[in-house]
Amino acid sequence: MNKKSKKFIFSFLALLLVLFIIYSVLSHYNFFQNNLTIINDKIYSRSLPTNTFKSTYTSKINFNDMPVTNVNDITLNILDKKNIKNVPMLLKAQRYYIPVSFICNKLNYQVQNSDDSIILKNTEHEISLTETSYTKDDNTNSLRGNLLKKDNEYFISISDIEQLFDLIAVFDFDNKTISLLPNNIQTPEESSVAYTQKIAMIRFEDFTCGDSNFVDKNQTRVKCMVNLLYSQGIKFHVAWIPRFKAPTDNIDNDMLSNDNITNVAFIDLLDYMVNKGGEIGLHGYTHQSGNDRSAVGEELSKDVNNTEEETRSVIENGIDTASALNIPITFYESPHYRDTELQKTIISQYFQFVFEPFDNNKRNIYKTKTNNLFVPTPLGFIQDPNDNCIVDGLNTNNPDVLHSFFYHPSIEVSFINFNTDNNTLNVQYDENSPLQKMVKAIKDNGYTTVHIDELIKK
C-alpha cells in the first residue's frame, strides 16, 4: 500500500471518528432523537407537532344552553361585612352569581354602563367588562362564568369576582356560607417561555369532586397549593375526573345534575386553577367501572370499554361535561395508562396532547404520524410524603429524561392549616411538605415549567 492510499484511509477513518463524536454529542442532547422536547429559540426538533390539529367532535352540551335558576339559602361574608343574607343570587353550570352593582357597592367601586361594556372604577383600578371578557390593568382575559342578565340587572360569578377584585372565596358547606377575603398572594412577573434543556412539568393527579374534595377545608387547602405554585411562577396541569362514582357507597356525583354548594365550590376551584396558571385535562370520565370507586378502577383497557363505540362514549361524556361547565381542556390522560392501541388511536382523534407515555419504554415525548404528542411522566409520583424520588429526579440533570411528574393533592392537605380570623385567610403551610420541596427543587435547579400545549413548533 502506497503512502497516498494510507493517507486516504487515515483521513477517512479520522472523518468517521469525528462524525461519530458529533453524532454522539448531538444524540446525547436529543437533537436527532424522536423524543426531543426542549430546543433553543431558533432550532426546532422534528418531534414537536405543528399547531394545526383540529378535533372533528362538536360537544352535544354547551355552557350557553345551561339553565339558570334562583338560589335563596346562601350567606355571604365580604371582607368585614358579615352574614349578608337575601342577596339576589343565581346558579348556572355550578357557579353562583350575584349582581355586579351589589359587589361593587360592597367593595367601593363605581359602575358605569356603556353600549358595549361595563366600567368598574375605584381609586386604584379600572375594569372593563363585556359579556364574556374583562380588561384590567391593560390585560384582557376571558371571564370564567360570563355575565348573566336578569331583569335588566347584570350578575357576575363568584369565580370572576375573585379574579377581578383580588379576593379568595372560602366555602363553608355546613353553614352554606361563602367568605370573600383579601387574596394576599405574590404575583409573579410576566415572562415568555424560554426553551432550554431544563424544563419541568407538573400534574395534579386524580382530581375530582369526591373523597378528599368533599371536604370544604380541603378545597381551600388546594387553593393554598395553587397560590404556592402561582407565586413562584410555576405552571401546572390538572388531571380532572369529571364524574365521581362510588357505587358501594351509593355516590354518583354527576356535575351536570347534582346542584349543591360542594359542586359549586369545586367548579370555583377549577376556575381558580385556570386563573392561576393551571391547565385542565380529562382523566377519563368516571375513572372506574362496575362497582369500583373513581380513581381506583379501570375505565379504558383491554377489558373495559374496549370497543370503538364504548371508547368514544367515555371520551365524549367527559368533553360534554367540560363544555357544559365551561371548563377549558387541553389534554387527555387515560386512567392508569391502560388504554389499548385502538383506544389510543381514538383518543388521538379528539386530543392532540395525550399526557401519558406512548409505550412503556418512552422516557421522553413522542410525536405520532398524526401530529399527536404523547408526554410521559418519567419521574413518576410519590405514595408516601417521605418519598423523595421526585426531588431526587429533579436534582438529576439527565437530558434524555423529561423532568415530568404527577402528584396527588390529597397527600398535601395534611401539611396545610388555615383560619379566617380578622377577615383574612391566615395560612400555616409546612415548608417540609412534599409540594414545597418539589417547588424548591424546581427553583434551585433553574427549571422552566411549561404547559403541555406549549410543546409545539413556533
For residue 40, pLDDT over 50 is answered with: no
Mean pLDDT of 448-453: 94
pLDDT for 449 beyond 50: yes
- Would you list the domain boundaries of the chain? 66-165, 199-454
Query: Could you write out the DSSP letters of every residue in 228-279?
Result: HHHHTT--EEEEE-SSEEEGGGTEEE-TTT--SHHHHHHHHHHHHHHHTTEE
Q: Is residue 270 within 8 Å of 169, Cβ to Cβ?
A: no
Tell me the CATH number for domain 199-454: 3.20.20.370
Q: What is the pLDDT of residues 404-419, one digit of tens each?
A: 999 999 999 999 999 9
* Amino acid, res. 60: K
400: three-class secondary structure by DSSP: coil
Q: For residue range 323-345, list pLDDT tens digits in order.
A: 999 999 999 999 999 999 999 99
Strands 148-150 and 153-157: antiparallel
Q: Which three cell numbers stand for residue 196?
A: 432550554
**Residue 51: band (very low, low, confident or very high) from pLDDT cuts 50, 70, 90:** confident
pLDDT in tens, 99-126: 999 999 999 999 998 878 999 999 999 9
Asked if 336 and 328 touch (Cβ cutoff 8 Å), the reply is no
* Alpha-carbon distances, residue 125 vs 104, 215, 299, 426 (angstroms): 12, 35, 48, 25
Q: What is the domain class of 66-165 according to CATH?
A: alpha beta
Each residue's pLDDT tens digit, 182-224 = 998 877 766 555 555 588 999 999 999 999 999 999 999 999 9
168 burial (CB, 10 Å; 0-12 / 13-18 / 19+) is: buried
The pLDDT score that the predictor gives to residue 27 is 40
Evaluate whether 412 touches 435 at the Cβ level (below 8 Å).
yes
